[in-house]
Structures are given as C-alpha cells and as structure tokens.
Amino acid sequence: MQAGDERLNWWQTRWFVAVMAFVAAIPLLLPDVPPLVDLPGHLGRWRVQQSIGQAPWLADWYNFEWQLIGNLGIDLLVVPLEPLLGLERAVKLIVIAIPVLTAVGLLWIAREVHGRIPATALFALPIVYSFPFHFGFVNFALAMALALNAFALWLRLARLGHIRLRAILFVPLGLVLWVTHTYGWGLLGVLAFSGELIRQHDRGRNWFIAAFVAGLHCIVLLPPAILMLVWRSGGDVTGQTADWFNWRIKARWVLMIFRDRWELLDMATLAACFLLLLKGVRDPAIEYSRNLSLSALFLLAVYLLLPRIVFGSAYADMRLAPFLLGIALLALRPKAGLSIRGASVVAAIGMVFFVGRVAATTVSFWQYDQSYDRQLAALDKLPVGARLLTFIGETCRDEWTMSRLEHLPAMALTRKLAFSNDQWSMAGAQMLTVKYEAGRGFNHDPAQIVTDVKCPRQYWRPIAVALTRFPRNAFDYVWMVDPPAYDRRLEAGLTPLWRDGNSALFRVEDRRPPRLLMQDLGPYGPEYFEAISRRRAFGKASSRPGTPVPAPPPRARAPGSRPPRA
C-alpha cells in the first residue's frame, strides 16, 4: 500500500489504516482500569508476581512459581514495563495495544489476500471489541491480535517468494505466540495451513498433494507442540477437558459475539454482519475469496469440535467465535465490475458501522469506569496489607449487561497489597495459587460472589449464609460491593468504615465464632436466615425436612434495621 498512490481509494491507504487503529483505541483511553471482567483479577496476580519479594506477607497467602506455560503474554511484558510505568499504567498500555493490533491485522490480511483492502473489509473491524475481550481474556486477546498480523506476514512473504525467510522467521514467531497464549499459536496454524493449501492448489497441484506440501511448509510452526506436551504432562496439572458438542451453548456464543451493554444494539450489530455474509452469497456484485473462505471453513470445523472446557479452562469454544466471523467477513470483496462510486459507498457505510460501534463501546466503558471509581473509593479506608474478605452481589439470571465487578477485590491487592479472595487457584493454568488455609472455603474464586438466594448449578453462597459462616479469625475487614439486600442484623460484630448506597467496608471487631455471635440475635440466629434463603430458592418452607421455619416473635426492631425478607 503506497500512501501516495493515486490508484488507491481512500480506504486503502496507510493513513486510513492508521486512523482506524487510533479509533480502535478510543474506548480504552479514559478509564483508569480497563473495565474488562477478569482484568482486575489478573492485575492482582501481576501485583503478587512483581511485589512478593518486597511484601513478605503476600507469601503467607499465595504461592507464585514461574513456569513455562502457554499463557504468559502480559505476565512477561509487565516485568520490564512495571518498574518504568507502574503496574496499572503498563497494563493499560498493553491492553490498548490489543484492539489496535487486531484492527491492523485484519486490514493487513485483507490487503494481502485481495491485493488491496476491499470496501467490505471494514465490516470486520467491530470484532476488535468482541465478548471474549470484554470478558478480560487479555493474554488470549493479545495472542490472537499477534496471530492475525503473523498470518498477514506469512501471506506477504509467500507472495514475495521469500519462502526460506518465512521458514526461518516463523520458528521463533510460533514460539512467541504459544508463550503469549496457546490459542494464538493454534489460530496461526489453522490460517497458515489453509492459506498455503490454496497457494499450492493455485500452482496446479491436486488437493491431496497441495495439502501434503502445505503441511510440510507448516512444520516450522510445530516446535511449540513439544512445549505443550511438557506443560500438560506436569504432575500438578489437574484441569479437565469436558462438555463436548454442547450445541445449545455454541449457538449462544455466536449470538454473544458483540455482547456488551445494550442487547438490542449488540444483536443488531451481529445481524448486520450476517446479512452482509448472506449478501455475499446472493449478490452478483460481491464474491468470496477462496483463500479466506477456506480459512473460515477450517475455523468453523475447529469451533464445532472444540469442547467448552479445555485443560480446566472454560469458554474454549466461545473465544474462537468472533475470529471465525471476522475471517468470514474478510473473505468478502466487491467484484471487478463494481464502480468506484459504489465501492466508496460500501466503504463509507463500513466505516460508519465501525465508528458507531466504537462510540457505543466508549460510552459503555465510561459508565463502567464510573462504577469502578465509586466502589474503589472504599480502598481509601483500607490499610496496606489488610486481610480483606470481599462479597460481590450477583443474580441467578444471566443478564446481558454484566456488572464487571466480579474481580474488583483484586484492586485491593493491586493498590493496597491486601488479601484478595477472588484469585483463581488452578495449578498448571497459571503461576499463582492460593494457600491461605485460615480462610479456607472463602479464600479464592468464586467465594467472592454472593446472591440473594441459592442459585441452581452454582457454587455461589446466599449473602445471609456468607455473612454467617465466614471465618472471622481469618479476616480483618469485609468489603461489600453492591450486595443483594440483606438484614442489617447480619452486620453484628462488624464496624462500618465507609458506605456508598448498599456497598460498604467494615472492620471485623468481634471474632467470636459466627454461630456464637449470631446467638446474640436471639430468634434471628443463623438457622433462620439459612432457612429463609433455602425457601426462596427452592420453594420450601424449612431448612430441613419436617422442620418449620422459625417465625420471629413480635418485638421492637433495632433502629435503622430492616426485617428479614421472606
């Protein structure tokens, strides 16, 4: 692409690619912490990684051991960047780079496959803010962004005839991608094989020979497979691979490709993409590239065959859905007979489609950032090194708009070096595991999630049960983040230090065993609250068969308290 080439249309120039890359970064510029669901939890892990030597109490709570795994992208990048920029700024800079690199990679692939960027390629750009990115799978998203650019380079070197140079470069590139996240390496392998298969077939070979030769060219991407075998053969790896061919869930993941805040807008975005794909089949002015069409079919096969859980890591198939859609959209191109004016109109619509989507995401992220700022004000009252227990409100309904507060406790770990009970503890999947035995049962994810009632098929506790049973000797502070409504009598023994609406920070003053403490409430003891929770969840009127729920006697309520809800 030569920026000054008069034969290039405005959407095919380098300056346009640069502008689209900048537009992709806009939603992340304002928030202090990118409001991605899992990102605060990852920030907490990186704080332990960087500070466990300087804050010895962290070693009392967490084990952190460096090991070679296929999930180290940002973990490694923060090592040189954190001393220069600080942890939060370094992570924000890396996260901003992800949608930028994704946008550049998509447009570069389109340029290499089609010769120039087709006007239809702009409709693929909204996947830079797809649901897996919103979920905070940042190592995965970084690896996928790098894989798209690596695939574009693979195609370019083949087009220029630099096959030997490509073989030399892609041995280390494949290793880098695998270390960043295994999925990036897998995506590159699928795309590189399909691209080379078409190239070999176009050179006159039949499909069988073309596939064999393409496989030979892709041998340079195999070294990470050895690392994979070493990683997954470790004795401490317990993650399972399960939930195969769950077609209902797979269909839901496709519908959630653009899930963010406004369901109608997100579904309309997806519908527009599908309509464009259909138009490519029916409209004589638009056609599909054989190269990327085959890539999309290969990715579709992988998506259908992937289970939901791989090596203990959930949402394995969900993560691939946006990139399957993106590659399919990139395969579209106007036929040669389409006029320049017609192509310009298509490009203008595609640009408005992307910019409009980015504008909506910017507003959404700003609103999430306001929520973060309001809740994080509690940390001003928290001392450094506190043993903090956090409860975050959730509902049993899978609501389209997620609160993105699920891993906010880790910001206390990030900023105050306090204990955070939201960390994942999965040996072999990441380098941090939780070892704080005094808080057992409440010391790692998902113990931070509480609900109004017991949710079916979930490990989450009802708020009344959590406040009754948590080990008071193990924690000095309790942080309630937008919890469900509960009776204030359950705050017995807790002194409020900060409140904002129904959120609050408490200091644990009375360390008696919870049941002894709750006896001070007389008829409002733990059995009453647990029975109420069970009755609301399952429609039963007792905490155990044949035992009625104790009714509170008519007596004066404590000032400012609310009666338990039945």
pLDDT at 208: 95
In the block, residue with structure tokens 């609301």? 536
The reply to whether the predicted model has a pTM over 0.85 is yes
Provide the mean pLDDT of the chain: 88
- pLDDT band of residue 286 (cuts 50, 70, 90) is confident
In this model, does residue 2 exceed pLDDT 60?
no
Tell me the pairing of strands 332-334 and 286-288: antiparallel
Q: What is the distance between the alpha carbons of residues 299 and 305, in angstroms, rounded to a whole number?
A: 10
In this model, does residue 408 exceed pLDDT 80?
yes
Give the contacts of 288 (CB within 8 A, at least 6 positions apart): 280, 331, 332, 333
pLDDT tens for residues 338-389? 777 878 999 999 999 999 999 999 999 999 999 999 999 999 999 999 999 9
In the block, residue with structure tokens 């504008």? 359
CA 187-188-193 angle, to 5 degrees, is 105
pLDDT at 515: 67
Token pair listed for 90 = 């370094």
pLDDT at 222: 93
pLDDT at 81: 97
pLDDT at 392: 97
CA 343-347-94 angle, to 5 degrees, is 150
**Which of 11-15, 191-195, 352-356, 526-530 is predicted with the least confidence, judged by mean pLDDT?**
526-530
pLDDT at 36: 97
| Mean pLDDT, residues 476-492 | 93
Per the CB < 8 A criterion, the answer to whether 537 and 457 are in contact is no
Cα dihedral: 275, 281, 285, 288 (round 10): 100
**Residue 275 backbone zone (phi > 0: left; psi -120 to 50: alpha; other: beta):** alpha
Token pair listed for 558 = 């404590």
pLDDT tens for residues 234-278? 544 445 677 787 889 899 999 999 999 999 999 999 999 999 999
| Mean pLDDT, residues 315-332 | 93
Report which DSSP code applies to 554.
S
Residue of 177, 280, 151, 175 whose CA lies nearest to 224 = 175
Buried b / exposed e across 452-490, counting CB within 10 Å, b at 16+? bbbbeeeebbbbbbbbbbbbbebbbbbbbbbbbebbebb
Q: What is the distance between the alpha carbons of residues 214 and 195, in angstroms, rounded to a whole number?
A: 8
CA 354-261-123 angle, to 5 degrees, is 20
- pLDDT band of residue 4 (cuts 50, 70, 90) is very low
- pLDDT band of residue 536 (cuts 50, 70, 90) is low
Per the CB < 8 A criterion, the answer to whether 326 and 280 are in contact is no
Q: What is the distance between the alpha carbons of residues 81 and 253, in angstroms, rounded to a whole number?
A: 34
Q: How far is CA 352 from CA 257, 371, 378, 541, in A?
A: 19, 29, 40, 56
